[in-house]
Structure 1
Amino acid sequence: MSIENTSAPQIDFNTPAQLRMRKFRALKDKLASGGIAFGGISVIVAIVLIFFYLLYEVMPLFQSAHVEPWQKNDQAVENYAVPGTGKTLYLSMEEQAEIGVRVSDQGEVVFFNTLNGSVIKAEQINVPANVSITTLSTISDPLRQFAIGFSNGDALVIQHDYSSSYPDGNRVITPSLVYPLGKEPIHIGDKPLKLLGISHGEENWNLIGGDETGLTQVKISVEENIMTGEVDISSESEALPNFNIKAHKLLLLPDRRWLMIADKSKLAVVDLKAEDGAQTTQVIEATKGSITDFQMLLGGNAVLIADDLGKISQWFLVRDEATDWKLTKIREFTGGTHPIVNLSIEHRRKGFASLDTQGTLRLFNTTAQRNALTETIVDGMADRLSYAPRSNAMLVEKNGQLSLWAIHNEHPDVSWSALWDKVWYEGYEKPEYIWQSSAANNDFEPKYSLVPLAFGTLKAAFYAMLLGTPLAICGAIYTAYFMVPALRRKVKPFIELMEALPTVILGFLAGLWLAPFMEDKLAGIFVILLVVPIAIVTFGFLWAQVPDRIRFLIPEGWDALLLVPVVILATLFSLFVSDGIESLLFGGDMRLWMSNELDIPFDQRNALVVGIAMGFAVIPTIFSITEDAIFAVPKHLSYGSLALGATPWQTLTRVVLPTASPGIFSALMIGMGRAVGETMIVLMATGNTPIMDMNIFEGMRTLAANIAVEMPESEVGSTHYRILFLAAFVLFMFTFVVNTLAELVRQRLRKKYGSL
């Protein structure tokens, strides 16, 4: 019998249909590869563009100042003769730096065009016959007020004012003189006024004048009848005691309490409101050289002293431990080695300009302790220096000639020390880290320290991770390694769904419900931390003692659901006994007890509230990534470990977790990035107080929340605006560095445990 050999069927892989399928598949692979590559490159490009845009907005903060002759029609404005006659006693400009005002020792007030010196208006001060002007004292540059002292002991207070009109659509600025205390001079003493200091509030004025042999104080009260408009001026005078100092110049601070008297090298501080009458509180050696200029900084809280050694120092009153005020030297600026002859104070910032005998101009900012410019603008010593109100122009007088200079110094109050070091601000007892970007008055000293914001960012992230990390990782371990698949398929999506909850809702609930609830049940919160773990362990022990026929009624792996009512009941019990525990142990108010007995301040919106709310927000992220990493560990590794006699717990800790450690570490870093960049929760639940305290019961302000709060109110292009971009840049770089280091660690862990 023969067997017929039949050949195996032949399959043709090159049919037209197969060829079309392979071409279509290759096309899809190329499109997928190209799309993925394009998406990845787009993300990188977007991140790089964000980086450079932030850098673009931040860089102007650190640009150096520069000065140049004022330009008109692309031509430098030439020097011109000083308008008017006599010696200049006062030189200033109006807001637009278009009109200057000059007061001479002949009593002539001249308003002139700052571009060419042409006289716009001239007025003669009412100087009595046979009387000469002996001194001029600047009261306030921002208020445009000054006072003139006469040889007969009288003084006249003057204010130069400006009004704008628009005839035919063209702006016209009209200057005028105003006399706040009337055109009649005020009598201070019988001796010539070689020294004069004036300060005032809304209705009260203090005038102090005299010479080095004695001073007299005149207090003036101005009352206006709101019905008739009549002004009633009353005054009283008193002779001040001898302060044993040869006075060269006086400064009376705006509070009308403190009088500063400068002689050749010393400075005396007089408390005019001391209980035992006017008295010298201290006499200090202000400089080792000779005082050449003595000016009050914007706000009237600090004074500047320039000397012939080229140094400028800032001083202000500081309250010591004995509650006494002491004039303290805060910082010193080096203005070269040549004597300083002129100081000019900025009208709206804590800055000033100095000019030495060699004609070198230097621009300083006191808060930033920064020298923004050093440049020689005239040859030799100038006679007078005057800032424009907007600090964008400067008038310099030398040998009867005036020159107008353009100043480009947009952000002088920013420096590394102002941003990251402790700064001694006016009114503070010591250097501190402070963020306070705005205030109600124009004399405000901006405080741009980023340290409290960076601290608050890390504090919020720390407490959020402290709460969220153990819950998320432990939950992920149980879900991926111990939970039965049927239950896992229900639990995992439910937890991941929590991530879709908008953070603004979490912040809203945390700020308006959770914060007052925790304040009311503070003792119960701590009881929960004790009772819930004890209840879980106790229930587990009791459940193990239950007969098998009852325990086996619950399907294997589903018994964990029995803990849900246990946790709920334990929590409700803890809150129920909260009031009783507070009454028994803390006198009925745990918050007040902590404040009084432990000196721990308590704010309703604090880090504990933020930790719970932000922990709730980061738990889904950490849980999901960690659970996937543990579940993805090859089963043959755990089966092999169990087969060799290891317990499930040993297998978990020595095989599964090390293998999944790169993924777990990535989950932690992503969760931390989420916590660091969180905005709405910390914005609504922290109180937004930029303080530096690790106290869990006090709030904070984070970088992200600060940007969200203050960016809408900041002026575009201002220092505040650009510092907010700097805060965003710091946040960006922090996230970038942390993620880069995390990736390096993750790769090392992956390499170490990848061979398992």
Structure 2
Amino acid sequence: MNDISQSPERRQIAPGGSRSLLPSPDQRERLRKRRAFKDHFSRYGIGIAGIGVVAALAMIFVYLFSEVAPMFRSASVSPQASYNAPGVDADDELVHLALERYNILGSSFSRSGRATFFEIADGDVRASFELPTPDGAEVSAVGVGAPRSQSIAYGFDNGQVALGVVEYEMTFPDNQRHIEPKLTQPLGDEPITLDEQGRALSVIGVQVSDRGSYIAGATDDGRLLVASFDTRQNLMTGEVTVEQTVVELPGIEGEPQQILIDGRFRHLYVSDERGYIHHFDISNLNNVEYVEAVQVTDSGYVSSMAYLNGTVSVIAGTSEGELSQWIPVRDSHNAYSLVRIRDFASYNGAIRHIQPEYIRRGFLVGDDRGNVGIHYTTSGRDLFQSSLSDQAIRMTAISPSNNLALITDQGNQLQVAEVSNPHPEISFSALWNKVWYEGRSEPRHVWQASSGSNEFEPKMSLMPLTVGTLKAAFYAMLFATPLALMGAVYTAYFMTPRLRGKVKPTIEIMEALPTVILGFLAGLWLAPFIEGSLPAVFSILIFMPLAMLATAYAWSRLPENLRNAIPDGWEAVLLLPTILLVGWLSVAMSPYLEIWLFDGSMRQWLTNIGINYDQRNALVVGIAMGFAVIPTIFSIAEDAVFNVPRHLTQGSLALGATRWQTVMGVVLPTASPGMFSAVMMGFGRAVGETMIVLMATGNSPIMNFNIFEGMRTLSANIAVELPETAVGSSHFRVLFLAALVLLGFTFVINTAAEIVRQRLRKRYSSL
């Protein structure tokens, strides 16, 4: 007894005479402290981990936003230097101003026919050239071609014209770039006669492209002439011959002010002092047609107009300071008409000069109050407008790299200004609203971000991609949700434990299948199979449920002793022969159904009734992506149903409810928060899926929910185009915006889903 009482451990005699050792008070205190430490560590550790996850998501959002935000900044113009325009005397007039791509040399053309090339930094003259002038003639008109052509034409008072084209020769002496300017004359060293009557040319327009050269002019007696020039060079002698065709255009009311010719030599526009633009079709010089006259303004006249890059859109400025964009739109009869599609911010004074950018759809504007502005057509943005001179703006020029501008005023004072305008083509309306693009008959949502042509107009509407994402997710969930939820309910509540132990792991293993394999099979096997067996697909959808109901009815009519031979929970196994038989019959009968019902081809029948069918379409994506989403929904929903407390279901059964009544009235309400979470998890995966959509669709960014046509999703578009785009470009940042939209979309959906789940949980927590 003394030994026991003096032992540090307390001994207790348990029932049956055995003895057990219990911890001493000190040991229990140490255990309590250890558990308390673990509890605190777990609590704060999990909390810190949760905060870390939220912080990581926030940092992802901040990073994406930092890449997106620069797209929506306005342009800025910062004057750097100022000097008198080189090559223009006090008694002369500046008629054209230009920059070369490296911002080293500028060029000025005076009315006397002198071309001067100067250093932009300080205005020092590098070279000077004179265009040939006929003896005794004077310059009466000057016309400038598209900026990319670097062409200028001088018209004389004897009906002749001289055409000059600026070229730059680049060398690298001592590893230093040296640019040598040249002024070539593609039509020969002597002026060419445009008007055989020898009348003075009051207005002249020119266009030079790889298709040839066109020059149009208005004479002082009101006639309009257009000439095409085809130059040929003898390879042996180097002699250049020029074939010329001159046609007189129909007369117009009003005095011509300016003439424009497009680069495809199809449209010719003449503005007059009454505010009209006259449209001619010159695609066939043997049959020139006067198309129409459109009124630009009713309170003034068209003071300046210019072609944008691509020579499709015309920007018209008026004496009242109005700016508008016009494009030729083709109707159902293949006839073009000039349509006003967009207006820009007005100016206080008359528009004096419009200078288009070289490779974008932007342009600079100067008015007679000294204001200069920058605008962009596709986005409809007015990016900059400010007063840069006390005098009227005479001429502006923008470099091909769009980062430097030359601005001259009425006093021939030239300003060199740095321009920052990296992303003018992006705006909220261009990304989400319909935009009227060049070559389209109406405003549309279009995604076509790049092309091999420098004249291409980027079309970056996110609506087709967003609709495509929702379309793919919708059809995938339409296929997966009923199968996954019903399978989860049956597996968790009706299936025997032994069969459940085989089915549940098998379906969960499906989630480990690489999506690239599913996309590969969908694109190379499933899509051609569905295309060749469309009647089989619809036969399965119709006859499979009917066959399952018929099998169930037949099973219920069998003798009871036969039905009792099959244990409860194994009914699904009995349906396998029915499923296989109906599937085989549907595929086997598909060719005959096509012959009997669809004249041999169901795809052609769909086309005939106005339903487009693409081989890789939303139906293929719905099946393939639904197959990938089913394991996620099934696993979470099955756990939610299986974990419904047994006393609830047993109580329901004890009160006389059937098993199906118990499922509908007790199991589903109790498990609804978990099942709803399962559906939202599956939806999130469907929205973010990339490889299946990438390989099983045609990646066509279209705006419809036709199950027989494809789509392009946000995630697939990012995967395809991000590796090929230039870092920091507008296209690059729009793809980051697509990622931000995808992140925000899933965040909003998941937040709403969690709110709904919590409310469902609170509502049915009393069960």
Superposition TM-score tier, normalisation by shorter sequence: over 0.9
Q: Is 1:355 paired with 2:366? A: yes
Q: Is 1:294 paired with 2:294? A: no
Give the C-alpha shift of residue 505 in structure 1. 0.9
Residue 63 of structure 1 aligns with which residue? 73
SS, match of residue 347 in structure 2: coil
Q: Is 1:505 paired with 2:511? A: no
Give, as a single letter, the amino acid of the residue that structure 1 aligns with 2:430: A
Cα deviations by residue, 1:408-428 (Å, 9 ceiling, x for unpaired)? 111111111101111111111
| Counterparts of 1:10 and 1:198, CA distance in 2 | 110
Alignment of 1:154-169 (within 5 A): 154-169=160-175
Alignment of 1:62-101 (within 5 A): 62-70=72-80, 77-85=81-89, 86-101=92-107
Give, as a single letter, the amino acid of the residue that structure 1 aligns with 2:118: F
Alignment of 1:408-419 (within 5 A): 408-419=420-431
Moved more, 243-252 or 92-101: 243-252
Give, as a single letter, the amino acid of the residue that structure 1 aligns with 2:249: L
| Counterparts of 1:83 and 1:237, CA distance in 2 | 34
Q: Number of residues paired by the alignment?
A: 744
SS, match of residue 217 in structure 2: strand
Q: Is 1:250 paired with 2:254? A: no
| Counterparts of 2:185 and 2:394, CA distance in 1 | 28
Which of 255, 259, 276 is matched with 1:266 structurally?
A: 276
Cα deviations by residue, 1:33-87 (Å, 9 ceiling, x for unpaired)? 44433332221111011000000000001112111112xxxxxx24345334321
SS, match of residue 442 in structure 2: coil
| Counterparts of 1:204 and 1:388, CA distance in 2 | 25
| Counterparts of 2:61 and 2:519, CA distance in 1 | 29
Moved more, 164-173 or 196-205: 196-205
Q: Is the 8 A contact 1:679 1:704 kept in 2?
A: yes
Residue 4 of structure 2 aligns with which residue? none
Residue 582 of structure 1 aligns with which residue? 594
Cα deviations by residue, 1:80-100 (Å, 9 ceiling, x for unpaired)? 453343211111010022200
Is the alpha carbon distance of 1:547 and 1:393 closer, same or farther for their aligned partners in structure 2, counting shifts above 3 Å?
A: same
Give the C-alpha shift of residue 276 in structure 1. 8.3
Give the C-alpha shift of residue 335 in structure 1. 2.3
Q: Is the 8 A contact 2:12 2:21 kept in 1?
A: no
Give the C-alpha shift of residue 148 in structure 1. 1.8
SS, match of residue 443 in structure 1: coil
| Counterparts of 2:36 and 2:501, CA distance in 1 | 36
Which of 47, 56, 60 is matched with 1:50 structurally?
A: 60
Residue 233 of structure 1 aligns with which residue? 242
Which of 104, 126, 137 is matched with 1:131 structurally?
A: 137
Q: Is the 8 A contact 1:316 1:330 kept in 2?
A: yes
Residue 540 of structure 2 aligns with which residue? 528
Residue 230 of structure 2 aligns with which residue? 221
Gapped runs of 5+ residues in structure 1?
1-5, 71-76
Cα deviations by residue, 1:217-238 (Å, 9 ceiling, x for unpaired)? 2222234567876644322223
Q: Is the 8 A contact 2:371 2:388 kept in 1?
A: yes
Gapped runs of 5+ residues in structure 2?
1-10, 14-18
| Counterparts of 1:275 and 1:583, CA distance in 2 | 54
Q: Is 1:742 paired with 2:753? A: yes
Give the C-alpha shift of residue 354 in structure 1. 1.3
Q: Is 1:665 paired with 2:676? A: yes
Q: Is the 8 A contact 1:456 1:702 kept in 2?
A: yes
Q: Is 1:692 paired with 2:703? A: yes
| Counterparts of 2:581 and 2:289, CA distance in 1 | 71
Give, as a single letter, the amino acid of the residue that structure 2 aligns with 1:281: V
SS, match of residue 383 in structure 1: strand
Which of 176, 184, 188 is matched with 1:182 structurally?
A: 188
Residue 7 of structure 2 aligns with which residue? none
| Counterparts of 2:173 and 2:462, CA distance in 1 | 48
Residue 294 of structure 2 aligns with which residue? 284
Give the C-alpha shift of residue 312 in structure 1. 0.5
Give the C-alpha shift of residue 749 in structure 1. 0.7
| Counterparts of 1:163 and 1:45, CA distance in 2 | 55
Which of 106, 110, 121 is matched with 2:112 structurally?
A: 106
| Counterparts of 1:33 and 1:471, CA distance in 2 | 39
Q: Is the 8 A contact 1:362 1:374 kept in 2?
A: yes
Q: Is 1:199 paired with 2:211? A: no
Q: Is the 8 A contact 1:352 1:363 kept in 2?
A: yes
SS, match of residue 248 in structure 1: strand
Is the alpha carbon distance of 1:600 and 1:293 closer, same or farther for their aligned partners in structure 2, counting shifts above 3 Å?
A: same
Residue 575 of structure 2 aligns with which residue? 563
Is the alpha carbon distance of 1:32 and 1:220 closer, same or farther for their aligned partners in structure 2, counting shifts above 3 Å?
A: same
Which of 424, 439, 443 is matched with 1:431 structurally?
A: 443
Identity across matched positions, percent: 45
Give, as a single letter, the amino acid of the residue that structure 1 aligns with 2:509: L
Moved more, 550-559 or 512-521: 550-559
Give, as a single letter, the amino acid of the residue that structure 1 aligns with 2:267: W
Q: Is the 8 A contact 1:482 1:557 kept in 2?
A: yes
Is the alpha carbon distance of 1:10 and 1:284 closer, same or farther for their aligned partners in structure 2, counting shifts above 3 Å?
A: closer
When normalised by structure 1's length, the TM-score is: 0.95
Moved more, 419-428 or 552-561: 552-561
| Counterparts of 1:7 and 1:600, CA distance in 2 | 86
Give the C-alpha shift of residue 650 in structure 1. 1.1
